[in-house]
């Protein structure tokens, strides 16, 4: 339509490429550092390059246990988010009332934006030994239940942190599943549960996997919540890496740990993405008859 030389707009990508360059340079430096070693007693880092750090990191049983435990815990948290978050996303997508939808959106967005330290701290006080929950338990005449500095506190607070990610992503997908299809199934005599199981659920599988992938990826990199609510006794992978920096100030060893963890984490997230791709063609949205 337009004149002779239409630029394709590649120069517009230049600033982004500079930022990405900085980002990937940081990672390049980082992987290079992981091959060197810290000179004991000083802040300097020296060669020769070797895989010693990786051998040391992988050789430590604690590192292997915590890594496996992190992968498993992230999976459990994703499961909890599906159970608790799916009904909420569904309610939000299907409610006929704009006010209800906006209220849910408002709560999700405010929670989402209200800050990690804020929320971790709030849970610390709510679940603490003299906190809201235990005060109520004591008033009812029961014995105190330890809810912080253990796995329970980490799971509760992390579920709270992850839920908005999950619900907001799933909501986007559920909205695109036409409510008409469900109504048609209902009109044909299917029960509510059956029309959900046979129509809505299969159609929402790609969105469900996308939301779970995001939730799993965010859960894997948890750092603040296990640090504050786990009381140092329930470290996740990121906490171990942090301790390596803080306690030993061994940047090369921490870099090796972080690189290994990054590879494992991306591998697991990649598995989710693979499942997503496999699930896609089986439930094409275009197939409207049924």
Partner 1 sequence: MRALDTKPYSGSVVAVGGLALAFLVVPVLFIVYYAFNASRYFALPPVPLTVHWFANFFDNERFQAALHASFEIAGLVTPLSLAVAVPSAIAIVRGSFRGRALLNTALLSPLMVPGVVTGIAFLGLFSQLNVASGFWRVTAALSCFTLPFAVRALVANLHGLDPALEEAARNLGASRWRAFLHVTLPQLRPGLLAGGIFVFVEAIDNFSISVFLTDVDTTTLPVEAYNYIRDFDDPTVAAMATLLIGLTVTLVFLVQRVTGLDKFLDLK
Write the DSSP assignment of 248-287 as a string of letters.
H--HHHHHHHHHHHHHHHHHHHHHHHHHHHHHGGGS-TT-
Distance separating alpha carbons of residues 261 and 258, to the nearest angstrom: 5
Cα–Cα distance, 97 to 9 (Å, whole number): 43
Site membership for partner 1, residue 223 (CB under 8 A): yes
CB of 278 to partner 1, least distance (A): 20
Of the candidate spans 46-54, 146-154, 213-221, 278-286, the one that interacts with partner 1 by CB under 8 A turns out to be: 213-221
CB of 192 to partner 1, least distance (A): 5
Interacting residues with partner 1 between 126 and 185 (CB under 8 A): 126, 128, 130-132, 135-136, 139, 159-160, 163-164, 167-169, 171-172, 179, 182-183
193 binds partner 1 (CB under 8 A): yes
Site for partner 1 (CB under 8 A): which residue of 46, 49, 109, 144?
109
Q: Residue 42 interacts with partner 1 (CB under 8 A)?
A: no
- Mark 47-66 with x for binding to partner 1 (rule: CB under 8 A) and - for no binding: --------------------
Q: Count CB atoms within 10 A of the CB of residue 136.
A: 10
Q: Using CB under 8 A, which of 5, 10, 287, 289 touches partner 1?
A: 10
C-alpha to C-alpha distance for 166 and 160, rounded to whole angstroms: 11
Applying the rule CB under 8 A, the residues between 258 and 287 that interact with partner 1 are 258-259, 261-262, 265-266, 269
CB 229, CB 127: distance < 8 Å? yes
For residues 133 and 147, the answer to whether their CB atoms sit within 8 Å is: yes
Q: In a 3-state reduction of DSSP, which class is residue 96? A: coil
**For partner 1, the closer CB: 140 or 282:** 140
């Amino acid at each position: 339509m337009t004149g002779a030389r239409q630029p394709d707009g590649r120069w517009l990508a230049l600033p982004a490429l500079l930022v990405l360059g900085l980002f990937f340079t940081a990672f390049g430096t980082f992987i290079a550092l992981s091959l060197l070693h810290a000179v004991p007693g000083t802040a300097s880092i020296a060669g020769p390059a070797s895989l010693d750090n990786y051998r040391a990191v992988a050789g430590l049983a604690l590192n292997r246990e915590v890594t496996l435990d992190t992968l498993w815990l992230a999976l459990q948290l994703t499961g909890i988010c599906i159970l608790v978050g799916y009904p909420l996303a569904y309610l939000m997508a299907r409610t006929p009332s704009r006010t209800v939808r906006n209220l849910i959106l408002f709560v999700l967005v405010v929670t989402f934006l209200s800050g990690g330290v804020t929320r971790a701290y709030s849970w610390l006080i709510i679940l603490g030994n003299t906190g809201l929950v235990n005060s109520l338990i004591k008033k009812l005449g029961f014995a105190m239940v330890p809810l912080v500095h253990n796995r329970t506190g980490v799971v509760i607070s992390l579920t709270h942190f992850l839920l908005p990610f999950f619900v907001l992503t799933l909501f986007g997908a559920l909205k695109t599943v036409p409510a008409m299809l469900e109504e048609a199934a209902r009109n044909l005599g299917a029960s509510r549960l059956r029309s959900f199981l046979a129509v809505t659920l299969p159609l929402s599988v790609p969105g469900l996997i996308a939301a779970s992938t995001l939730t799993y990826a965010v859960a894997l990199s948890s750092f603040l919540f296990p640090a504050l609510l786990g009381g140092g006794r329930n470290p996740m992978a990121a906490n171990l890496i942090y301790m390596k920096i803080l306690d030993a100030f061994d940047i090369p060893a921490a870099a090796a740990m972080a690189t290994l963890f990054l590879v494992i984490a991306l591998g697991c997230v990649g598995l989710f993405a693979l499942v997503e791709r496999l699930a896609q063609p089986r439930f094409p949205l275009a197939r409207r008859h049924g």
